Amino acid sequence: MDRTRIIVIANQKGGVGKTTTAINLGTALAAVGKQILVIDVDPQGNASTGLGITKPQRSVSIYEVITGHAPLAEAIVESQIPGLHVVPATPDLAGAEMELVGVPRRSFRLRDALDGYHTQIAEPSTQSGSTALSTERSKLMVYDYILIDCPPSLNLLTINAMTAADGMLVPLQCEFFALEGLSQLLRTIDLVRGSLNPQLEIQGVVLTMFDKRNNLSEQVAEDVRKHLGEKVYQTIIPRNVRISEAPSHGLPALLYDVKSAGSQAYIKLAGELIQRERSRKAA
Ligand SMILES: Nc1ncnc2c1ncn2[C@@H]1O[C@H](COP(=O)(O)OP(=O)(O)OP(=O)(O)O)[C@@H](O)[C@H]1O
Ligand SMILES: [Mg+2]
């Protein structure tokens, strides 16, 4: 079994399609048989809601994990999508940053929790009675991909996600200000690489909300490719009303309307990501 790949989906700009990408890329990867864990690191909890995770299912959330009150395994819940599990978020998470002031390894909270989880899988015999219970709840799955959905900020939560990840996927909305803020994001990646996580790489950049009736979209896409070259995925996510309707039904677009242009684009993106991961491994 290959090692789990941890991909953080980040961009400090709000509303660029981070959560939509976490939900639908995750679902598309699960649909081809990959085992997926989506970790919601945004106090807004949009990824949790969009994946149909109810309030009672959030009794243990990423907040408890990051603040050290629960192991990761206890926060994992099953979604309605076979092979896709979720670590949900609650509004409590907004307070985590303050609570972690002065706490050692505060940028490593998520990474340490993930390491603990993987150790638990590797050494199941060392579990105590109570961990065995949580093992039962989560079924301690070995995931192919862990996707982390970030808030629209370069705060401690995003830093935790970047510190825990192997690669970063950056959604860029096809609008005039798409590249604005990108240099700050790239600087933050460099900082994280320099001090917290040397292995962090840009896994890819995905253009979202492309409007083919709008010449600007075309121009922006071209511009982004000029700047970021082959990091940019060939697959472009179109602006599609079915994508925006799906979350209110607690469903990924892929379950809400698989034939929609938006769903089809995320299926293509998943294929391209798997391909890219394969050639990365071969290299
Ligand atoms: N391809 C698309 N077509 C149409 N609507 C979209 C598309 N992608 C995202 N949306 C809608 O745009 C809004 C913002 O998307 P999303 O929540 O994924 O962005 P985000 O980057 O996670 O936002 P935030 O920064 O607040 O976390 C949502 O209402 C979503 O349904
Ligand atoms: Mg979001």
**Cα 265 to Cα 33: distance, rounded to the nearest angstrom:** 18
Domain 5-282, what architecture?
A: 3-Layer(aba) Sandwich (3.40)
User: Dihedral of CA 214/216/219/224: which sign?
Assistant: negative
The tens-digit pLDDT sequence of the chain (283 residues) is 568 999 999 999 999 999 999 999 999 999 999 999 999 999 999 999 999 999 999 999 999 999 999 999 999 999 999 999 999 999 999 999 999 989 999 999 999 999 999 998 888 655 555 555 555 555 688 999 999 999 999 999 999 999 999 999 999 998 888 888 888 999 999 999 999 999 999 999 999 999 988 888 889 889 899 989 999 999 999 999 999 999 999 999 999 999 999 999 999 999 999 999 999 888 8
Phi, psi of 40 (to 5 degrees): -90, 110
What atom in ligand 1 is closest to the CA of residue 152? 25
**Cα 229 to Cα 220: distance, rounded to the nearest angstrom:** 13
pTM: 0.95
CA angle 166, 146, 118 (to 5 degrees): 85
CB distance 46 to ligand 1 below 6 Å: yes
Structural domain boundaries in the chain: 5-282
**Cα 255 to Cα 282: distance, rounded to the nearest angstrom:** 33
Distances (CA, A) of 75 to 39, 166, 184: 10, 22, 32
CA angle 234, 11, 279 (to 5 degrees): 40
CB distance 209 to ligand 1 below 6 Å: yes
3-state percent helix, strand, coil for the chain, nearest multiple of 5:
50, 15, 35
Q: Report the residue among 20, 157, 205 best suited for mutation to probe ligand 1: largest number of ligand atoms under 8 A from its CB.
A: 20
CB distance 248 to ligand 1 below 6 Å: no
What atom in ligand 1 is closest to the CA of residue 244? 31
Closest CA to 6 of 163, 234, 181: 163
What pLDDT is attached to residue 124?
66
Q: Report the residue among 8, 19, 212 best suited for mutation to probe ligand 1: largest number of ligand atoms under 8 A from its CB.
A: 19
**Cα 237 to Cα 91: distance, rounded to the nearest angstrom:** 29
> Which pair of tokens denotes residue 157?
């939560």
CB distance 174 to ligand 1 below 6 Å: no
Angle 156-164/109-122 helices, nearest 10 degrees? Answer: 40
What pLDDT is attached to residue 95?
95
